[in-house]
Amino acid sequence: MSTCKFGVGEKCVTISPHLDRGRITMETLEPILAEHPLFSGMEQCHLQILAGCARNVRFESTDVIFREGERANEFYLIRTGKVALQLFADRRGPLTILTLEEGEVLGWSWLSPPYHWKFTACALETTRAISLDGKCIREKAETDHDLGYELLKRFVHVIEERVRATSLQLLNVYER
C-alpha cells in the first residue's frame, strides 16, 4: 500500500482558466493526467503531485520542441497534433525515426543522468501537450519512493515500445 506525502503548495498548483457562463473558473490538470494512458490507474495522491509539476504548452508546425544534446528537464504528454523525433546524420541531415501522436509520451531523457536529449523533436502540425517538469518530479520521487517506482514502471514500458518501434524501422531499412 502506498503512502502519499504532500508538502505545502503541492496540491492543486497547476491551473487552467476556463470560461463558465461568462466567468473564468480554474481547474487543475489532474483529471487530464488521470485520463492519459501513461497515468491510467495511478493513485490520486500521485496524480496530485504530478499536477503540481505540470503545465499546458502549445507548439506550432515546424517548432523545435527540443534539440539533441540540450538539457532534458521535462517530458510531454501529447494531447493533439504530431511530433517527429529526429536524429541528425552527417551526410543526410535530419532523419525522422519516429512520429508521435495524440496520447503518446514525448521524452524520457529527464529520467537518466546526464539529462540530455538523445534526439531532436519537431512539431509537424499544431500540437497541444502537457509539459511535466522532470526536475520537479525527480525531487518529488526522491521523497516519495512509491511515486518514483510507479513512474519507473510506467516509463520502462514507454522505453520498451520505442526500442521495439526503432527495431522494426531498422528491419524495414535493411529489407529494402
Q: CA–CA separation, 44 vs 69, rounded Å?
A: 35
- Is 23 inside a domain boundary? yes
- Is 175 inside a domain boundary? no
CA distances from residue 113 to 33, 116, 118 in whole angstroms, order as listed: 25, 8, 12
Range(s) of the domain holding residue 149: 15-169
- Is 174 inside a domain boundary? no
- Is 3 inside a domain boundary? no
- Is 106 inside a domain boundary? yes
- Is 5 inside a domain boundary? no
The residue behind cell 535530419 is: 94
Domain count, the chain: 1
What average pLDDT score do residues 60-87 get? 96
CATH number, residue 97:
2.60.120.10
pLDDT in tens, 28-54: 899 999 999 999 999 999 999 999 999
What average pLDDT score do residues 10-34 get? 59
Q: CA–CA separation, 67 vs 116, rounded Å?
A: 9
Are residues 128 and 81 in contact, defined by beta-carbon separation less than 8 angstroms?
A: yes
